[in-house]
């Protein structure tokens, strides 16, 4: 049909370059009550970058932590 052909042409015109998100980090995990489940995350840090069509932009650095209530 005409609608399907129009949709197909619009989809074919889309950019096929992937958006890539790369991240790495570390943290320390604690099982405070000994039950085998993670209760706290401390000293977390991460860094990353996003790439699109050959261009890479750093995301910077960040820190994180958390605990179960």
Alpha-carbon distances, residue 57 vs 14, 46, 53, 60, 62 (angstroms): 22, 15, 11, 9, 15
Mind giving me the DSSP string for 12-44? HTS--PPEEEEEEEEEEEE-TTSSSS--EEEEE
pLDDT at site 18: 86
Assign 8 to helix, strand or coil: helix
Q: Is the pTM of this model over 0.75?
A: no
* Average pLDDT of adjacent 10-residue blocks, the chain of 69 residues: 86 80 97 95 97 93 93
- For 3, residues 6+ apart whose C-beta sits below 8 A from its C-beta are none
């Amino acid at each position: 049909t005409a609608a399907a052909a129009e949709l197909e042409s619009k989809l074919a015109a889309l950019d096929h370059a992937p958006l890539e998100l790369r991240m790495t980090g570390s943290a320390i995990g604690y099982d405070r009550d000994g039950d085998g489940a993670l209760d706290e995350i401390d000293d977390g840090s991460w860094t990353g970058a996003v790439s699109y069509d050959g261009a890479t932009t750093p995301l910077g650095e960040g820190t994180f932590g958390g605990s179960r209530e």
